[in-house]
Structure 1
Amino acid sequence: MARFEVYRLGHGDALALDLQSNLLDGLHTRIVAPLVRESDVDTFVRWLNPRFDIDGEMYVMLTEFLAAVPAKELREPIADLSHKADTIIAATDFLFQGF
C-alpha cells in the first residue's frame, strides 16, 4: 500500500484515499479519508475538501471523516494522487491546525 493511492473499500464501491506514511506499512490499519462524488456533496470547504478528477469524474475528499480501517479492507489501488500531495497535506493540516 502506498500513501496517496485511492482504493475501493471492502466489497462496495466506496473510495478511500490512503493518507498514512509508507514508513508504517507494518501496521494492520491505514488512515484514510473518504472520496465522494462531487455531485453527492451539498457543500464543502475549499481548503478542507479538495476535489480530484478520478477517471473523468470529480470526487471530493471528506477530510473531516478521517478514519482508521483494516488494511485488508483496501482492495486494489485505482488511482494515484501523489502528484496532488501538497493539496492533500494542506487539507489535513487545515483540519488539525486550522490553517
Structure 2
Amino acid sequence: MARFRVYGLRQSRTLVLDLQADLLDRLSTRIMAPLLRAEDVLTPIARLNPQFTIDDETYIMATQLMAAIPLAEIGELITDLSSHGDQITAATDFLFQGF
C-alpha cells in the first residue's frame, strides 16, 4: 500500500484513496477516503472534496467519510494520485484544522 494511491475494495465497487503515511505500513489497517462519482455528490465543498479524473470519470474525495480499512478488504491498485498530493493534504488539513 502507498499513500495517495487509489484502490478498489474487495467487497464492493467503491474506490478508496490511501491517506496514511507509508511509515506506518506495519499496521493492519489503512486510513482511506472513499472516492464518489461526481454525479452522486449533491454539494461538494471545493477545499474539502477535491475532484479527480480516473478513467475519464470524475470522482469526488469524500474526505469527511474517511475511515480505517483492514488490509484484507483492500483490493487492486487502480491509479496513483501522488501528483495531487498537495490538494489531498489540503483537504485533510481543512477537515481537521479548518484551514
- Bucket of the pairwise TM-score, normalised by the shorter protein: over 0.9
Tell me the CA shift for residue 67 of structure 1: 0.2
Task: Show structure 2 runs of 5+ residues with no match.
Answer: none
How large is the Cα RMSD of the aligned pairs? 0.6
Tell me the CA shift for residue 11 of structure 1: 2.2
TM-score, reference length from structure 1: 0.98
Counterparts of 1:46 and 1:61, CA distance in 2: 10
Task: Show structure 1 runs of 5+ residues with no match.
Answer: none
Q: Which runs of 4+ in 1 moved over 3 A?
A: none
Q: Which residue of 2 aligns with 1:36?
A: 36
Q: What is the correspondence of 1:7-22 to structure 2 with a 5 Å cutoff?
A: 7-22=7-22
Query: Does 1:58 find its partner at 2:58?
Result: yes
The number of equivalent residue pairs is: 99
Task: Please tell me the residue identity of whatever aligns with 1:4.
Answer: F
